[in-house]
Copies of this chain bind each other. A is one copy, B any other.
Amino acid sequence: MQEEKPGVGIVGAGLVGCLAALAFAAKGYSVSLFELRPDPSTIPQKQKNFRSINLAVSDRGIRALRYVDEEMASRVLENVIPMYGRMIHDLKGNQESQNYGLFGESINSIDRSYLNDLLLDEIKRNDYININFNYKLSNVDNLNSHPTLTFQDENSELKTYEFDYVVGADGAHSQFRYQMQKSMRMNFSQEYVDMQYLELSIPAKNDAGEFHYSPNHLHIWPRHDFMLIALANKEGSFTVTFFSPWKIIESFQNKDEWLAFFTENFPDAVKLIGEEELKEAFDKNPRGSLMQVGVYPYHHPSGRAILIGDAAHSMVPFYGQGMNCGFEDVRVLMELIESQAGDTSAAFRKYSEERHEDLKSICKLAMDNYHEMSSKVTSKWFLMRKKIDYALGKLGNGKYFQWIPMYTMISFRGDIPYSKAVAIEERQAKILGRIEIGTLALVLGVGLAKALHHIRK
């Protein structure tokens, strides 16, 4: 007699929910996936309502994709645009490139909805996953024994399903989490960052799909309190995002003031975005707010439910780790199921214990990185320090000593947990500080010697 597969209900068919569905199916679970929105394949491209900020997939995300399915990971990577560094745009329109990696590594621009569609296609082909769109979660019950999920379907009918385990992957405003909180003691915080974002676009240079700027960089116009960034799309365009405190965008009385502000601060970008388009965007384009969410623990004490992705740890986008971290959640959880010999409940419990410090670390790093992107990248002192850091990184390959720049650890070394990266960086920063003092002393010494020599003459 064949053993019955344990049933898993996953709420949310965004990026993380989809990867989790594929991962559980690959581990021999019978998976049901539920999504509030309609099937994107039934919607004309233009009307797609998915958040459209481009994503940068890097090592942690790729590792998780590979863990679940090597071939699928390869298909994803065929459709990315590698970005090898930042391109800093100053007020005069000058551009300066700063590499991300020591050895030509890249983070990779990809369209969110393209990636989501690709994962959904995999899911529809998978016999062990059934997917349900237009399902609005209304209740999560019976978490202490056999959890049930109750949904309102598109005809407003209530439907209830029973599972062995349930997973909440329904994003920052998770309804699953809200339901779960009713039957457990879950610490929870949500904090809005005083910052809005507004999406803009730079079209392709011509019908041949040529780019106005290098497609292989993440473009930044760092202006301290606010900034503009741009990531390349496949067809020659750039998705542009303006980040600023709310008070800046709310201070403009009309579209002309907004255009004047943009022209003053981003003259080269305005030419490419277009003045009319900019003015239109002021009224029409959605402005988003940025929020950090933290919870603890991630699992229900019964070991029957768990939160992953943004539902567990929504972070600001400034380290490009939101999706990568959510994908890593899936890999870490699956590896725990392996190491707990298939005891799902034990794995859920261990996940909270082992994952918490890493998630706290990356949420904090993401916030801190705003300062680096918007300001520090223009500081001579920062660039000098970075040069030493990278020089040490090239030498410190573990033969004589080990040295890994922070950006490398976070974006290209998914084998180093976030919290460990923070610990390593703290040690390295101390040493860097000493090197700087040493260098400074040396420079002063040489200067002094020269001066004395001059006096003696």
Q: Which residues of A contact B (CB under 8 A)?
A: 178, 185-192, 289, 291
Contacts and interface: CB of A to CB of B under 8 A. Distances in A.
Nearest to A178: B178
A191 B188 CA distance: 6
A190 B192 contact: no
A190 B187 contact: yes
A185 B188 CA distance: 16
The 10 closest A-B pairs by CB, nearest first: A189-B189, A185-B192, A187-B191, A188-B190, A185-B289, A187-B192, A187-B190, A188-B189, A178-B178, A185-B291
Contacts of A187: 189-192
A190 B178 CA distance: 12
Please give the count of copies of this chain that the complex contains. 2
Nearest to A194: B185
A295 B191 CA distance: 9
Contacts of A188: 188-190
A412 B137 CA distance: 49
Nearest to A291: B185
Given A185-B192, A188-B188, A189-B189, 13 more contacts: A178-B178, A185-B289, A185-B291, A186-B190, A186-B192, A187-B189, A187-B190, A187-B191, A187-B192, A188-B189, A188-B190, A189-B190, A189-B191
A136 to B, nearest CB: 14
A149 to B, nearest CB: 19
- Per DSSP, chain A at the interface is strand
Nearest to A189: B189
A192 B188 CA distance: 9
A185 to B, nearest CB: 4
12 contacts: A185-B289, A185-B291, A186-B190, A187-B189, A187-B190, A187-B191, A187-B192, A188-B188, A188-B189, A188-B190, A189-B189, A189-B191
Nearest to A295: B190
Nearest to A191: B187
Contacts of A190: 186-189
A434 B188 CA distance: 41
A204 to B, nearest CB: 36
Contacts of A185: 192, 289, 291
Nearest to A196: B185
Contacts of A191: 187, 189
A144 to B, nearest CB: 16
A291 B189 CA distance: 13
A155 B187 CA distance: 35
A20 to B, nearest CB: 26
A184 to B, nearest CB: 9
Nearest to A246: B185
Nearest to A187: B191
A127 to B, nearest CB: 38
Contacts of A189: 187-191
A185, A189, A291 interface centre (most CB from chain B within 10 Å): A185
Contacts of A178: 178
A192 B181 CA distance: 11
A377 to B, nearest CB: 28
A189 B188 CA distance: 6
A191 B187 CA distance: 5
A284 to B, nearest CB: 19
Contacts of A186: 190, 192
Nearest to A294: B189
A333 B456 CA distance: 78
Nearest to A293: B188
A186 B192 CA distance: 7
A186 B189 CA distance: 11
A41 B188 CA distance: 36
A194 to B, nearest CB: 9
- For A178, A187, A291, the residue with the greatest tally of chain B CB atoms inside 10 Å of its CB is A187
A27 to B, nearest CB: 32
Contacts of A289: 185
A289 B186 CA distance: 11
Nearest to A192: B185
Nearest to A184: B192
Nearest to A289: B185
A280 B289 CA distance: 52
A316 to B, nearest CB: 14
